[in-house]
Chains A and B, each alone.
Chain A
């Protein structure tokens, strides 16, 4: 199968592999201990999957805001994004 037309780059391949692995991890976690719906500081009933989605969406916005609003290195946005995911997953 030829994939030239998709113009793969190493960073985007790592990005999608990471997302794929995270989804697999979520699946394994769900099989081992099924999620229970609850309401956290987001004030909406969420399952683990919903919080994961909100976390990922938030990280995308954090990175975009970093690129759009500052000239600093994008890597500095990474800890903020990771902290955001952890906060949402734990207390969201």
Chain B
């Protein structure tokens, strides 16, 4: 019997295609058009070819912002992933403590991003903030703590805020991964007399590989695109010390209204994000495939 294929299902995908076309493809095309022209005003544009790309690719401020972005995202992963695993391991496994710790962990995730920036501004203010006043009253620092005064203080505040905001996500994912490990594994480890470290290394960590990959992916991408929190907290300052890619882009596009360079920058930014998304997506697809073979 000849196989009969019904392709009518494609029509069901059509609405999504139309939405994506209007929300992503058409704006992207417009950005490409902008990046090739110098736009002086409505209806007044001059074709400049790849000039803006040249300007952006050799722009020292963009290189610095990119370096800061990589440093920030790298630090985020280095701190949040191990810390998330530690919290998940320390969380209670039964009783009322489970619900209590889940609720406490979920609170930072539920607060709007720009509100988080405002909370941390108040928390670290040297005149009224609990943290700012507290650390300054100890007289440990040669320059009083003020996140608007020193790049190092701004970075510390920003990292603390980021870790406070997003480590719970990593912890929740790891906790879900840990809860999915069957009790038989632990019993076998106990019979063999395995140490806590061996149980972690050979049972818990391999079994958490899937959720950890998702956690790394989410945290890398989110921290790479971060805007609202540093914008609310430091506005990119002091100087340019916390100006990440998205903050610099918005400064260019809406602050100085340099649409051409901002468009070229957006496309370069887009390509970087696309490359990393693809690499992580591939890693995610292939995770656990080696496990079956062994």
Cβ contacts B24-47/A at 8 Å (1 or 0 each): 001001101110110100010101
Number of residues on chain B facing chain A (CB within 8 A) = 25
Q: List 25 A-B contacts (CB under 8 A).
A: A4-B43, A5-B30, A6-B26, A6-B29, A6-B30, A7-B30, A9-B33, A9-B36, A9-B47, A11-B47, A11-B49, A12-B29, A12-B36, A16-B29, A16-B32, A53-B278, A57-B271, A57-B278, A60-B271, A61-B275, A64-B57, A67-B50, A67-B53, A68-B53, A74-B50
A8 contacts B33, C-beta separation under 8 Å: yes
Please report which residues of chain B, range 270-284, place their CB below 8 angstroms from some CB of chain A when the two chains form the complex.
Answer: 271, 274-275, 278, 282
Instruction: Name the interface size band of chain A.
Output: 20 to 34
Taken together as a complex, chains A and B put the C-alpha atoms of A44 and B284 apart, in Å, by 12
Say how far B193's CB is from chain A's closest CB, in angstroms: 39
Say how far A88's CB is from chain B's closest CB, in angstroms: 13
Cβ contacts A52-85/B at 8 Å (1 or 0 each): 0110010011001001100000100000000000
Assess whether A15 is interfacial by the CB under 8 Å rule: yes
A68 contacts B57, C-beta separation under 8 Å: yes
List residues of chain A with CB within 8 A of the CB of B282: 44
Say how far A50's CB is from chain B's closest CB, in angstroms: 9
Taken together as a complex, chains A and B put the C-alpha atoms of A15 and B143 apart, in Å, by 55
B58 contacts A68, C-beta separation under 8 Å: yes
Taken together as a complex, chains A and B put the C-alpha atoms of A4 and B282 apart, in Å, by 39
A residues near B (Cβ < 8 Å) are 4-9, 11-12, 15-16, 44-45, 53-54, 57, 60-61, 64, 67-68, 74
Which of B26, B36, B39 contacts A11, CB < 8 Å? B36
Taken together as a complex, chains A and B put the C-alpha atoms of A62 and B56 apart, in Å, by 16
Cβ contacts B196-223/A at 8 Å (1 or 0 each): 0000000000000000000000000000
Assess whether B286 is interfacial by the CB under 8 Å rule: yes
Assess whether B268 is interfacial by the CB under 8 Å rule: yes
List residues of chain B with CB within 8 A of the CB of A54: 278
Q: Taking A7-B37, A53-B278, A68-B58 as contacts, is the C-beta distance between A12 and B271 under 8 angstroms? A: no
Q: Taking A9-B33, A9-B36, A9-B37 as contacts, is the C-beta distance between A57 and B54 under 8 angstroms? A: no
Taken together as a complex, chains A and B put the C-alpha atoms of A76 and B28 apart, in Å, by 26
List residues of chain A with CB within 8 A of the CB of B49: 11
List residues of chain B with CB within 8 A of the CB of A11: 36, 47, 49
Say how far A80's CB is from chain B's closest CB, in angstroms: 16
A64 contacts B53, C-beta separation under 8 Å: yes
Cβ contacts B53-93/A at 8 Å (1 or 0 each): 11001100000000000000000000000000000000000
B271 contacts A67, C-beta separation under 8 Å: no
Known A57-B271, A61-B271, A68-B58; further 6 A-B contacts with Cβ < 8 A:
A5-B30, A7-B39, A9-B36, A12-B29, A54-B278, A57-B275
Q: Taking A12-B29, A67-B57 as contacts, is the C-beta distance between A57 and B268 under 8 angstroms? A: no
